[in-house]
Amino acid sequence: MRRLIALFVTVGLWIAAGQTAPAVESTSAPKPELFREIEEIMKDLSEITGLKMRRRVASDTINKDGLRKFLEERLKEAVKPEEIRAEELTLKKLGLVPQEFDLRKTTVDLLTEQAAAFYDYKKKKLFVMDSNASMNDRAVLVHELAHALADEHFNLGKYIIKGKSDDMAVARQAVMEGQATWLMTEYMLFKVGTSLRKADTMADMMNQMNNSPGAGAFPVFDSAPLYLKESLIFPYTKGFSFQQAVIMKYGNQGFAEVFRNPPQSAQQIIHPEKYFKKVVPTQPELPKVKLKGYRGLVGGGVGEFDHNIMLQLHTTSEEAVFAQYWRGAQYRIMENRKANRAVLQYASEWETEDNALRFMQLYRRVLQHKWKKFEVTRESPSEVDGVGDDGRFQVRVIGKLVTSVEGLPQ
């Protein structure tokens, strides 16, 4: 899911930030008054960050039809149908979205609804939705110009695609969107003579104000699965808080530090102290399983963010905070297309052995809740075997590791 969003356009509730993309059809409407402020805003952003403005930023408006066409073209260009199918199957096997979820359609519908503006890293040009191109949308313009300024110095198109895993790509998204959101907020305070650097409490308050959508204002967003909604919001909210911590520690050097030494996981975004201490995720070995006629379809990391949402969906919000004890996790899906079967191999590592035992109990509830059928055939404090919707499952605790194999043939 997050990989697909990264290939598309990262969109928040009131702003948008495009990835490298094909050309976009603009509207024929004249450029609004808003665009006359671009040069002045860029000078202010340069003063705030210490990053020099090197070139003028091209701009234009775009309508909803043009945006949908842009998204469809980007999808066709960047993602193969088999990759989308694998991403969707992964989300379903992990219990992060319902079985009837349509990843491709929901993503396009949601991003079309949410977009207010985006910066195209390939064309070095920003676009504002024609319905939003008014003087009241200066904040949106500042956000996108913050992307343009960072792009001049750090080549954001290359930066986002260098994430070696889904979790690392999420962290890099949070750097980009968090910094742009921080600068948008700092710009507004700068114009009235104050700064986010003066108090973390002010930063917390402004972050909440920036990300408080009105109920019912976005029907597609409101009806989307929790995992999809949180994936869209995370880079802005947690990225903002991460950027605040970095600026408070490094000052203006922090604007470049996060690009030159990127965070290695979403966990480092959630807990900036882990970024400062260079705490990186482990890569636990997947459980071994012998499967005839199966081939590897997709695999990768499952981060603290993913585990938090998983626990929110299948246990309680209070128990979801247990994800903070995560140290690393991997998954792989093996598929037998002829038999129409898929097997999930999963392994996670936790800070202590007691944490691992506790997570096994939580994960048992995840399995029970995400399936309609859940029959236990053997159980002990460190093992659970049984049958679920898509076949047999085996969960084990080995020291600090929790492993699971799900979907085995009967």
Residue 175: per-residue pLDDT:
96
Residue 136: per-residue pLDDT:
53
Q: Which two tokens stand for residue 17?
A: 């930030």
- Across 33-86, the runs of DSSP E, i.e. the strands, are 58-62
Angle (CA) 155-260-243 rounded to 5° is 95
CA 31/CA 36 separation, integer angstroms: 9
The domain segmentation of the chain, as residue ranges, is: 2-276, 295-408
Residue 353: per-residue pLDDT:
98
Low-confidence ranges of the chain (pLDDT < 70): 1-32, 131-136, 200-203, 206-217
Quick check: 74 and 181 in contact, CB under 8 A? no
CA 53/CA 40 separation, integer angstroms: 11
DSSP H/E element including 301? strand 295-301
CA distances from 53 to 42, 47, 181, 354 (A): 7, 10, 19, 53
Residue 140: per-residue pLDDT:
86
Quick check: 247 and 254 in contact, CB under 8 A? yes
In 3D space, the residue among 132, 102, 100 whose CA is nearest the CA of residue 116 turns out to be 132
- Count helices and strands in the chain by DSSP H and E runs: 17, 12
Q: What is the pLDDT of residues 114-140, one digit of tens each?
A: 878 888 887 888 888 886 555 457 888
**Cβ burial 101-125 (10 Å sphere, 16+ → b, else e):** bebbebbbbbbbbbbbbbbbbebeb
- Please tell me the CATH code under which domain 295-408 is placed: 3.40.1000
Residue 111: per-residue pLDDT:
83
Residue 356: per-residue pLDDT:
98
Q: What is the pLDDT of residues 300-358, one digit of tens each?
A: 999 999 999 999 999 999 999 999 999 999 999 999 999 999 999 999 999 999 999 99
Quick check: 117 and 141 in contact, CB under 8 A? yes
Residue 10: per-residue pLDDT:
39
Dihedral pair phi/psi, residue 118, rounded to 5°: -155, 155
